[in-house]
Amino acid sequence: MANDTTPVWFITGCSTGFGRELAKLVLDRGWRAVVTARDKERVTDLAEGRGDRALALSLDVIDDDEIEAGVKAAVTKFGRIDVLVNNAGYGYLSSIEEGVPEEVRAQFEANVFGLFAMTRAVLPVMRGQKSGHILNIASVAGFCGFPGSGYYAASKHAVEGFSDSLSKEMAPLGVKVTVVEPGPFRTDWAGRSMTQTQSAIPAYAETVAARLAQTSQKSGTQAGDPVRAGQAMIDLVGEVDPPLHLVLGEWGHDAVVKKLKDTLAEVEGRRQTALDTDYPPNER
């Protein structure tokens, strides 16, 4: 495999959902992949029968030592990392008022600080190669806040801002960045990948409580297909000039477009207020 020139993908959170489907697509193309999960046993089947093209690892993104060991193992085996997919993470839903601090911090550790740490660990490899592509899996919630998902949205907004800055730092070095924003997809996000604090305050019955119930009821019937989403990511990585943002799913696309249009109108409507807060030109 020393002369293998197929791309090497490093994908976190491969036990279920987007990560698992994407890993299968990558490996089915004959490419090489590092597939990870907190429990290696949940991803060993992905590597079976793949010869030397697959490396299954236990990796918890909140564990710096496991991140360092995982990146080292990938480079030792394959010599490079061409695509990093920061997919590991989960959702925590509650009203803002009833959010449990420990749950909020735990979500940020995985969704935000774990993603930051994983990226930092891979950047020296890509910088040395002068090439690479980082896909950060965010959410439509990175653009839009909804009742019951304030803390989840906050974590994904953080990924959006991080990715924006990262793209500008890495572009001169040959490394591309795309933040992926799925809407509702038919994964087990509402089952294994989500925790909730149920709302007990009557004032939130028609907002937070109603949305949490709706989210659970619709699990497994969403329009989004994770296999097609994985293929869209693969296609995007093959582009010469890929976008910074990739919104997936019709519902998600429409929600983001509406949010951006509404925000633009709101900001432009207050342009004079913005100008009035500057020192007058003759005082600058």
Q: What is the pLDDT of residues 234-273, one digit of tens each?
A: 999 999 999 999 999 999 999 999 999 999 999 999 999 9
Question: For the chain, what is the mean pLDDT?
Answer: 94
Percent of the chain with pLDDT over 90: 88
Query: Residue 44 and residue 15: Cα distance in Å, rounded?
Result: 9
Return the pLDDT at 113: 98
The mean pLDDT of 165-182, rounded to a whole number, is 98
* pLDDT at residue 3 tops 60: no
The mean pLDDT of 87-104, rounded to a whole number, is 96
Return the pLDDT at 261: 98
Percent of the chain with pLDDT over 70: 95
* pLDDT at residue 193 tops 80: no
Return the pLDDT at 218: 65
The mean pLDDT of 174-180, rounded to a whole number, is 98
The mean pLDDT of 15-30, rounded to a whole number, is 95
Return the pLDDT at 1: 44
Q: Whole-model pTM?
A: 0.94
Q: Which contacts of 251-258 are long-range, i.e. CB under 8 A and separated by 24 or more positions?
A: 251/140, 251/183, 251/184, 251/223, 251/224, 252/140, 252/181, 252/182, 252/183, 252/184, 252/224, 253/183, 255/140, 255/143, 255/144, 255/183, 256/140, 256/143, 256/144, 256/181
- CATH T-level topology, domain 8-274: Rossmann fold (3.40.50)
Q: Among the listed ranges 111-115, 157-161, 185-189, 204-208, which one has the minimum average pLDDT value?
A: 185-189
Return the pLDDT at 206: 96
CB count, 10 Å around CB of 148?
A: 27
Return the pLDDT at 2: 45
* pLDDT at residue 29 tops 80: yes
The mean pLDDT of 45-60, rounded to a whole number, is 95
The mean pLDDT of 16-31, rounded to a whole number, is 95
Query: Residue 65 and residue 2: Cα distance in Å, rounded?
Result: 27
The mean pLDDT of 54-68, rounded to a whole number, is 97
Give the largest CA-CA distance in the chain.
Answer: 73
Out of 151, 152, 204, 279, the active site residue is 152
Domain boundaries, the chain: 8-274
Return the pLDDT at 185: 83
* pLDDT at residue 83 tops 50: yes
The mean pLDDT of 115-136, rounded to a whole number, is 98
Return the pLDDT at 186: 77
Instruction: Please say if 152 is a catalytic residue.
Output: yes
Return the pLDDT at 144: 96
Return the pLDDT at 224: 85
C-alpha neighbours within 13 Å on the C-beta side of residue 242 = 25
